[in-house]
Amino acid sequence: MTQKTRDDQTLKWVGTRPIRPDGVEKVTGRARYGADFARPDMLWAKVLRSPHAHARIRSIDVREALALDGVKAIVTGDDLPEIASEQAFVGEEPTDYRMMSQNVLARGKVGYVGHAIAAVAATTSAVAEEALGLIEVDYEILPHVLDAVSAIAPDAPLVHDDLCDRKGEKKAPSNIANEVEMGHGDPEAAFASADFVIDRSFTTQAVHQGYIEPHACLAEAGPDGQVTIWCSSQGQFMIRGYTAKLLGLDLAQVRVVPAEIGGGFGGKTTVYLEPLAVALSQRSGRPVKMVMSREEVFRATGPASASRIRVKIGATRAGNFVAGEAWLDYEAGAFPGSSVAAGSMTIFAPYAFEHARSHGRDILVNKPKSAAYRAPGAPMAAFAVESVVDDLARQLEIDPIDLRLQNAAQEGVQSSFGPRYKRIGFVETLEAAQAHPHYDAPLKANQGRGVAAGMWFNAGLQSSAAVMVNADGSISVISGNPDIGGSRASLAMMAAEEFGIAYEKVGVRIGDTASVGYNDVTGGSRVTLATGKMVVEASRQVIAQLCERAAKVWDVDVERVQWADGKATVPDDDTIKPLGLAEIATGAGRTGGPIQASASGSVRGVGMSFAVHLCDVEVDPETGKVDVIRYTAFQDAGRAIHPSYVEGQIQGGAVQGIGWALNEAYVFDESGRLENPGFLDYRMPVASDLPMIDAVIIEVANPDHPYGVRGVGEAPIVPPIPAVANAVRAATGVRFSDLPLSPPRVLDALDPAS
């Protein structure tokens, strides 16, 4: 099919704001999420978790627990197959199946407080809970490391006894699980030619994705070996793949039925419960349900990495960036695989540098394994680099947006992470921010304005979609991606646009793993872009078939038939009455049978997204409290299929980033136990904390997508941390280099006398 981008004039649906197909179910509470499934005779399972940050497991005695009335099965690490080391990259972060299996159920050692040790299935959750208390684990407590600096000290305890750098360059085991390096030119030499060099270090704390829905699943293993899993995740195919791999099952034996998802933000791109539920179901012969508590979600599911980042940028007096170099250390948690590579790739991405280099290290510590979180790795990197750019603008006395425009990446520029940029909209986004009334609005005492930019790659990956013509002329679309941000609506709108029919005539369903071709996860801001492309492709195949059927009815050459406005016509003969979609569909049995098509592919032509945020804060000089009082987020969406859901993504990303900047942080005690495993003391913003986030969509079409789409979900979390920090700098004169900007930290910096 030709992949031309349609122009605005011919569009009926794209760019409008119809009601989302899943909206009524969700607002009336009827939608079924992960914990809403049940089967007759179902058991409930609970997980025994480590109270120690680092310990060897000498033995686990489950006899007493098994003897408890109502207990039907128990699994420990010994019950899962040993798996060879094998790299996977199905979600957004690199992972190793062997490590994933050890994270799901500890073998030999526990690596963090909350690490799963055993799972018990019983007739009620109270019995399962009681049984956990009867399992005896004999631990040999080991010294632990809780931060990246201690972890790389020469005498640091080893999180893994035998883990060397993947590149194999180090002979001795260490807590540095991986190192990456990228860039071009010779920054070290180039700094000498700069008039100004700023070199500064930053730290950020581990933060959780904070999805409202805890992990939950129901699994049923039949006597024939067939397995069905109902669960909420960012990818039913990911759950199937990981569960089958960890349990040694064939993919064809496992069917995963996707539930609605109550938030994922990258954190639901891996498995925690599903392999345990399946293993318990296999042993008990009964369906097994598992639901995490909020405390378990905090203790045992992936946060975004804590980080330490040093950034050095050199510029000429005229404001040209000469060279940039960055050193990034990200905490992986107890297993390798932080987002440091993506952080290293994005850190200088918005700018054209002649000389740029970044060095990233993935560092093991005795904390929960980190997981992807919305633009994984990029927000912390942006905090560092955009703070330094802000300082440069001050030092050079150049408007911060002018300075960014002067150095902005654009088409043809060599990116710091390798490829040359295609058509991108960074300059347009910066210009829109500069022209917006917010940028010049007056400020009062104790108030300040910050600006920051950010970039995210967006992903293509593998997608499939099926498009079917129903006998009444309505269209059914099956997608294989859980709908997190309104993708049902955008897929239906693109299909309606292709067929030239009403949006309401298109029904979009999310298929299980047995009813649609393979799809990678809903992640990387890819679904509207990539699965959308497959929907368009399948729709065009169906339209070709519809034209053939009409040609058959009319007995004309198919070349003469055209499709427009939901009808087949013969433009060169007005005596032939057009045939509508419903007429062709009703008669399909006589012209060749059902009409449907599916499309699958590895989608290329991803359009990168750039975002620029303006943030106004007011700082209370006596309490250190920072209030965000105005916020405007600008972003190149390529084309917004459904602008409300693009705005929703922009607002959501901005809010999560603001929370990360101001108050969110994991607090560990000295023994490595998380002290704030709940929303009371893990302080995400509440609605009343924030002003309306104004979202301004810029549309620089992605030339490689039929409707010009770029991904939109992740770029908006990249600029908020530095936007807030730069605003606080403007309001107080103090440059904050460590997160979070909580009241005690801010007050201490404003007036250290206390």
Partner 1 sequence: MEYAAPRSLDEAIGLLSQVGVDARPMAGGTDLLVQLRTGTRRPKLLVDLKQIPGLCGIDCGSQGFRIGAAVSGAEIGECLPLREAWPGVVEATELIGSTQIQGRASLGGNLCNASPAADSVPALIAAGAVCTVIGPGGRREVPVEEVVRGPGETTLSEAEIVVDFRLPQPQEGTGDAYQRMIPRTEMDIAIVGAGVSLRLAESGECLACRVALGAVAARPIRVDAAAEALIDRRPDAAALGELAAQASAAADPIDDKRGTRAYRSRVAGVLARRAAEMALRRAGPRRVAGSPAS
Give the helix/strand (H/E) hosting 307.
strand 307-315
How far apart are CB 66 and partner 1 at their closest, in Å? 23
**573 binds partner 1 per the rule CB under 8 A:** no
Question: Which of 501/662 has CB closer to partner 1?
Answer: 662
Pairing state of beta strands 207-208 and 447-456?
unpaired
Selected binder of partner 1 within 201, 667, 691, 733 (CB under 8 A):
667
Q: Which residues from 593-632 bind partner 1, rule CB under 8 A?
A: 622-625
H-only helix segments in 500-560: 532-554
**125 binds partner 1 per the rule CB under 8 A:** no
With beta carbons less than 8 A apart as the criterion, state whether 330 and 379 touch.
no
Question: Which of 217/747 has CB closer to partner 1?
Answer: 747
Question: Which of 375/658 has CB closer to partner 1?
Answer: 658
Question: Which of 294/560 has CB closer to partner 1?
Answer: 294
**201 binds partner 1 per the rule CB under 8 A:** no
Selected binder of partner 1 within 81, 681, 691, 733 (CB under 8 A):
681
How far apart are CB 748 and partner 1 at their closest, in Å? 7
**656 binds partner 1 per the rule CB under 8 A:** no
**689 binds partner 1 per the rule CB under 8 A:** yes
**670 binds partner 1 per the rule CB under 8 A:** no
Q: What is the DSSP letter of 558?
A: G
In the sheet where 626-636 sits, what is the strand order?
A: 447-456, 609-619, 626-636, 693-698
Residues contacting residue 78 through CB under 8 Å, at least 6 positions apart: 107
Residues contacting residue 10 through CB under 8 Å, at least 6 positions apart: none
Please identify, among the stretches 222-230, 397-405, 631-639, 684-692, the one whose residues bind partner 1 according to the rule CB under 8 A. Answer: 684-692
Question: Which of 402/689 has CB closer to partner 1?
Answer: 689
How far apart are CB 325 and partner 1 at their closest, in Å? 35
Question: Which of 475/619 has CB closer to partner 1?
Answer: 619
How far apart are CB 627 and partner 1 at their closest, in Å? 9
Distance of CA 713 to the CA centre of its chain: 8
How far apart are CB 667 and partner 1 at their closest, in Å? 4
Backbone angles phi, psi at 453, to 5 degrees: -120, 165
SS3 (DSSP) at 138: strand
How far apart are CB 672 and partner 1 at their closest, in Å? 15
Selected binder of partner 1 within 9, 10, 28, 688 (CB under 8 A):
688
Please identify, among the stretches 15-23, 48-56, 282-290, 682-690, the one whose residues bind partner 1 according to the rule CB under 8 A. Answer: 682-690
Question: Which of 85/754 has CB closer to partner 1?
Answer: 754
Integer angstrom CA distances of residue 494 from 422, 500, 533, 699: 24, 10, 9, 17
Distance CA 202, CA 735 (A): 11
**685 binds partner 1 per the rule CB under 8 A:** yes
**445 binds partner 1 per the rule CB under 8 A:** no
How far apart are CB 669 and partner 1 at their closest, in Å? 9
Number of residues this chain uses to bind partner 1 (CB under 8 A): 23
How far apart are CB 663 and partner 1 at their closest, in Å? 5
Question: Which of 404/630 has CB closer to partner 1?
Answer: 630
How far apart are CB 12 and partner 1 at their closest, in Å? 42
**64 binds partner 1 per the rule CB under 8 A:** no
Selected binder of partner 1 within 118, 742, 749, 750 (CB under 8 A):
742
In DSSP notation, 198-248 reads EEEEEEE--EE---SSPPEEEEEE-TTS-EEEEE--S-HHHHHHHHHHHHT
With beta carbons less than 8 A apart as the criterion, state whether 677 and 416 touch.
no
Q: Hey, what are 424's tokens? A: 């991108």
Selected binder of partner 1 within 663, 702, 726, 732 (CB under 8 A):
663
How far apart are CB 67 and partner 1 at their closest, in Å? 23
Distance CA 437, CA 20 (A): 32
Distance CA 482, CA 486 (A): 10
Q: Which residues from 324-383 bind partner 1, rule CB under 8 A?
A: none
Question: Which of 621/703 has CB closer to partner 1?
Answer: 621
Distance CA 114, CA 119 (A): 13
**446 binds partner 1 per the rule CB under 8 A:** no
**673 binds partner 1 per the rule CB under 8 A:** no
Question: Which of 12/683 has CB closer to partner 1?
Answer: 683
Catalytic residue among 220, 664, 699, 714: 714
Q: Which segments of 50-150 are extended strands (E)?
A: 55-61, 71-76, 87-88, 95-96, 109-110, 116-122, 136-141
Selected binder of partner 1 within 683, 696, 703, 734 (CB under 8 A):
683
Q: Hey, what are 684's tokens? A: 């995400």
Of 351, 361, 359, the closest CA to residue 313 belongs to 351
With beta carbons less than 8 A apart as the criterion, state whether 511 and 542 touch.
no
Question: Which of 418/678 has CB closer to partner 1?
Answer: 678
Of 461, 478, 565, the closest CA to residue 513 belongs to 478
Q: Which residues from 452-511 bind partner 1, rule CB under 8 A?
A: none
**679 binds partner 1 per the rule CB under 8 A:** yes
Of 295, 382, 378, 366, the closest CA to residue 334 belongs to 366
**743 binds partner 1 per the rule CB under 8 A:** yes
Q: CB-side exposure of 539: number of CA atoms within 13 Å?
A: 30
Selected binder of partner 1 within 143, 225, 248, 744 (CB under 8 A):
744
Q: Hey, what are 497's tokens? A: 């646009």
How far apart are CB 296 and partner 1 at their closest, in Å? 13
Q: Hey, what are 512's tokens? A: 């299980």
**51 binds partner 1 per the rule CB under 8 A:** no
Q: Which segments of 115-175 are extended strands (E)?
A: 116-122, 136-141
How far apart are CB 488 and partner 1 at their closest, in Å? 31
**141 binds partner 1 per the rule CB under 8 A:** no
Please identify, among the stretches 169-177, 215-223, 522-530, 738-746, the one whose residues bind partner 1 according to the rule CB under 8 A. Answer: 738-746
**686 binds partner 1 per the rule CB under 8 A:** yes
Q: Hey, what are 695's tokens? A: 């979202």
With beta carbons less than 8 A apart as the criterion, state whether 629 and 516 touch.
no
Distance CA 71, CA 521 (A): 35
**How much of the chain is in helix, strand and coil states, percent to nearest 5?**
30, 25, 45
How far apart are CB 751 and partner 1 at their closest, in Å? 9
In DSSP notation, 316-372 reads -TTS-EEEEEEEEEEEEESSS--SHHHHHHHTTTTB--SEEEEEEEEEE-SSPPP--
How many C-beta atoms surround the C-beta of residue 316 within 10 A? 13
Question: Which of 522/663 has CB closer to partner 1?
Answer: 663
The binding track of 403-442 with respect to partner 1, each residue x by CB under 8 A or -, is: ----------------------------------------
559 labelled catalytic:
no
**524 binds partner 1 per the rule CB under 8 A:** no
Question: Which of 631/634 has CB closer to partner 1?
Answer: 631
The gap between the terminal CA atoms of the chain, to the nearest Å, is: 69
**583 binds partner 1 per the rule CB under 8 A:** no
Selected binder of partner 1 within 680, 693, 700, 732 (CB under 8 A):
680
**320 binds partner 1 per the rule CB under 8 A:** no
- As annotated, the active-site residues are 714
Interface positions with partner 1 (CB under 8 A): 622-625, 662-663, 667, 675-676, 679-681, 683, 685-686, 688-689, 742-744, 747-748, 754
